[in-house]
Amino acid sequence: MARNKYPEETRKRIVDTAARLFMEKGYDHTSIQDIIDNLGGLTKGAIYHHFKSKEEIMGAVSDMIYSAATGEMEKVRRRKDLNGKEKLRELFRISVFNPAQKEMFESAPDMMKSPQLLQLYMKELMEEVSTMTYEILKEGVEDGSIQTEYPKELAEVLILTGNIWLNPMIYHCGPAEMAKRMKFYQYMLRKFGLDVIEDQAVEIFAEYARIYKSRSE
């Protein structure tokens, strides 16, 4: 068999095709065979050379969708004109108002039906997002804008609550319940001295829950 001279191009074709199908049909209603049928002659073996499962493909699609936001978050982390608390506020703003969120919930899977996808998601959260949040909280403690003796533990609680408990792909809920949860999350952070979430975020998260609920019905 001839060696593929352009493996990155092939991988991109798979991810782009899968992203389109997930958007059109939803993750749960798109099979590996559907992806193959839309790749114009690419074989199942070629797909499994790059990805072990549909869950891994979804992980790559998610990375592609969120790549711009991730880059913006990294820029915030490196800024010298903001203190730790201000950086945390910017991180939440980028995350909440990121247009990619709407794209994701329009094609989102039910993670409770896919343990492997949930595992990939949790791994990324704890290795990347939680670590970045911890670094910013620690910086805030050092510059005096954040008061806590537990920056690492607080980072993990904020990320797990914000990305698991407030995620309709994991905790299924409608817009009204999501709005109430978001208000509590905002209240909880303020009790930690972290007034970093805008009131409009409540409406935005309720809309994300509505999108996901309507897509999954």
Q: 51, 69, 93 — which closes off a domain?
A: 51
Question: How many domains, the chain?
Answer: 2
Output the domain CATH number for residue 1: 1.10.10.60
Give me the pLDDT at residue 155, please.
95
Look up the domain containing 5 and give its range. 1-51
Indicate if 93 and 176 belong to the same structural domain. Answer: yes
The model's pTM is 0.76
pLDDT at 14 over 80: yes
Q: What is the identity of the amino acid at 134?
A: Y
Indicate if 73 and 35 belong to the same structural domain. Answer: no
Q: Are 178 and 205 a contacting pair, CB within 8 Å?
A: yes
Position with higher pLDDT, 70 vs 210: 210
Indicate if 168 and 211 belong to the same structural domain. Answer: yes
Q: Are 135 and 76 a contacting pair, CB within 8 Å?
A: no
Q: Are 201 and 96 a contacting pair, CB within 8 Å?
A: yes
CB atoms within 10 A of CB 38: 15
Q: Could you read off the pLDDT of 55-105 as tens digits, one per residue?
A: 889 888 877 776 767 788 889 999 999 999 999 999 999 888 877 777 777
Indicate if 8 and 70 belong to the same structural domain. Answer: no
| Average pLDDT of the segment spanning 6-14 | 85
